[in-house]
Chains A and B, each alone.
Chain A
C-alpha cells in the first residue's frame, strides 16, 4: 500500500505511487561569492512535464541556480539532480537530459548554422541526427540559413540557433534563461509556439524571463527567488490569488471632489473625473461601493475592474518596484 510521505520542499503530503516524477531536484543549495550570498539553502522540485517559471529580480540568483544545474559552477553545499542523475556524481546522464538556452547570445564565428548544430549533436554523442537537425531548422525558421556563417545572422536568428543547439540532443528538460530578451514580437510568438509544442510532447520546460506576462501565460507553477532565497513556490493560480485582488476604475461625468471617508485609504489614483481604488478579493462588493459613491453625489459615467497581474504579486513579494 502506498504510504504518504512529507515533501519538505512543498510542505504537503504526497503519495509516492501517484506523485508525479521529478525532473529536477534542488536540495539545500547554497552558493556564496565573497560577501554575496547568491543562493541560500534553496530547495524545490520540478516535475516531469511541467512548464515551470523561475522568477526574480536582477541578481536574485536565478542564473546562478541554472548554472549550477548545467554544471557551469559548483555550489558550496547541497545537491542538484536532473531526471534522477546527480549533476556532479552522474554528470554524463544529468547533462544528457538537459538542454540550456543561455541568457547571452554566444556563437562560434567559424562555422555555419548546420555545422554548429552537427557539432553540438556530436558533442552529446548523438549519431545520425540529420533528420532532427532538419526539423529543428524548419521549426525555428532557419532552414534557409542552414549554410550561412553564424557571424552573418541577426540577433534574433542567433537566439533561434541557441534554442536549436539546446534541443539538438533531444533532452528531456529544457531550460530557457531569458530567451526572449531583445527578441521581436513575431519571433517571440513563433518561439513560444515551438516551446509549447515541446511541452505538449512531454518535455519539462523551465523558464526564466523578465516578461512576467509570458510567465503568467505559459507557466503551470512558479518559483520566485529574491536575494538568493526562495520566497514563493506555488501554482500560478495560487500565486495570483495572493494579490490584493483587483482595481476598480471609475470615470465620473464631472470632476470628483467628494469621496466617502472610508474609501480614502484605498484610493490609488484621483485625477479630475477619474478615480482608481483597490478592491479586496472575496471581501468587497463592487455594487455596494458604486452605490456608496452615488450616494456621495457622484454621477458615474464608466466603470471597469482589472484583476491583479503576476507582476503586481511579484513586485509586492520582492519589494522591488524598479526590478523586473
Chain B
C-alpha cells in the first residue's frame, strides 16, 4: 500500500468538490432545508411517529441521512464518469495505483462530502427545531457507513456508465426511489403490513432507521440489526468495487 499515492488521490478528490462547494455542498443543504420547511409545516401533527417525538424532529435525521448518502453517491459517480468522458482518467490509470489505493481514495472523498453536507443540514436543522442527540457515536457510525456504501455504489455506477445520462438514470430510477421509500418521511410501522414488509427489503431503510436511533434512542428495527445489514451491504459493495477496479472494468480496455 502506497499511502502517499492514496492520500494524494484522496486529496484531489476532496478538492474537486470543495472547489465547487456552491454546487456540491450548499445546494443540497438548501434543498434539504426546503424539504424540512415544507414537509415539516404541512405534516406536523398529521403523521404518527415515535412516542414523544414531533414530526419535524422525526423528519430531520431522515432528511439528513438522505442528503448524506445521495451526495456520497453523486461524488464518486460524477468524478468517475467525468474523468472517463473527458479522458482525464488516464492520469489515474498511468500511475501505479493498486485497486485498494484507488478505492480508499475515492470512497474517503465521498465520505468527506457526505459528512460535510450532513453537517450543513444539521446546522440549519438545529436552528429550525430542537434536535435531541441520544448517541453521537451511532449517528457518526451510520453516517460514515451510509456514505461509504453509497460512495462504493457510485463508484460502480461511474465505472459502468459510458454517458452522463446513464448516471442520471441510475440516480433517478434507483437511488432516489429507494431513499424516498426508506422511511425518510414516515415510520414504516405506520404503513400497511405489506408495504412495511416490502420496506424491510430496502437496504436504505436500515441506514435511515439506524441513523435515527442515534437521535431518539428508538427505531423501527433493532439498531444492531440495522448495523449488521449495513455492514453486510458495505462489505459486498467493497468486494465488487475492488474486483472491478482490479480488472479495470470499463477503464482499461480488455
Q: Residues of A with Cβ closer than 8 Å to B? A: 67, 70-74, 91-96, 98, 100, 102, 104, 106-111, 115, 119-125, 127, 165, 169
In the assembled complex, the CB of B25 is this many whole angstroms from the nearest CB of chain A, namely 15
Indicate if the CB atoms of A122 and B7 lie closer than 8 Å.
yes
Alpha-carbon gap, A74 to B254, bound state (A): 5
Find residues 71-100 in chain B having any chain A CB closer than 8 Å to their own CB. 83, 86-88, 90-98
Smallest CB gap from B83: residue in A: A108
Indicate if the CB atoms of A165 and B91 lie closer than 8 Å.
yes
Alpha-carbon gap, A110 to B9, bound state (A): 14
B16 in contact (CB, < 8 A):
yes
Indicate if the CB atoms of A71 and B91 lie closer than 8 Å.
no
CB<8 Å pairs between A and B, sample of 16: A70-B94, A71-B93, A72-B90, A73-B252, A73-B253, A74-B248, A74-B254, A102-B87, A106-B90, A108-B88, A110-B16, A119-B8, A119-B91, A123-B95, A124-B5, A165-B91
Q: A72-B90, A93-B96 are in contact. List 16 more A-B contacts (CB 8 A).
A: A73-B253, A74-B253, A74-B254, A92-B96, A95-B94, A95-B96, A106-B88, A107-B88, A108-B86, A110-B15, A110-B20, A111-B15, A111-B19, A122-B7, A122-B11, A127-B4
In the assembled complex, the CB of A290 is this many whole angstroms from the nearest CB of chain B, namely 57
Q: Is chain A's binding surface mostly helix, strand, loop or mixed?
A: mixed
Q: Which residues of A contact B83 (CB under 8 A)?
A: 108
Alpha-carbon gap, A73 to B90, bound state (A): 11
In the assembled complex, the CB of B246 is this many whole angstroms from the nearest CB of chain A, namely 11
Alpha-carbon gap, A169 to B91, bound state (A): 13
Alpha-carbon gap, A119 to B13, bound state (A): 10
In the assembled complex, the CB of B78 is this many whole angstroms from the nearest CB of chain A, namely 12
In the assembled complex, the CB of B249 is this many whole angstroms from the nearest CB of chain A, namely 12
A96-B96, A111-B15 known; A125 vs B4 contact (CB < 8 Å): yes
CB < 8 Å neighbour of A102 from B4, B90, B253: B90
Indicate if the CB atoms of A100 and B12 lie closer than 8 Å.
no
Indicate if the CB atoms of A123 and B91 lie closer than 8 Å.
yes
Q: Which residues of A contact B93 (CB under 8 A)?
A: 70-72
A73-B253, A122-B4, A125-B4 known; A95 vs B91 contact (CB < 8 Å): no
CB < 8 Å neighbour of B2 from A72, A73, A125: A125
Indicate if the CB atoms of B19 and A123 lie closer than 8 Å.
no
Smallest CB gap from A67: residue in B: B253
Sort A-B residue pairs by CB-CB distance and give the 5 closest, nearest first: A122-B8, A73-B253, A106-B87, A123-B95, A92-B96
Alpha-carbon gap, A323 to B130, bound state (A): 73
Alpha-carbon gap, A201 to B249, bound state (A): 38
Find residues 1-31 in chain B having any chain A CB closer than 8 Å to their own CB. 2, 4-5, 7-9, 11-12, 15-16, 19-20
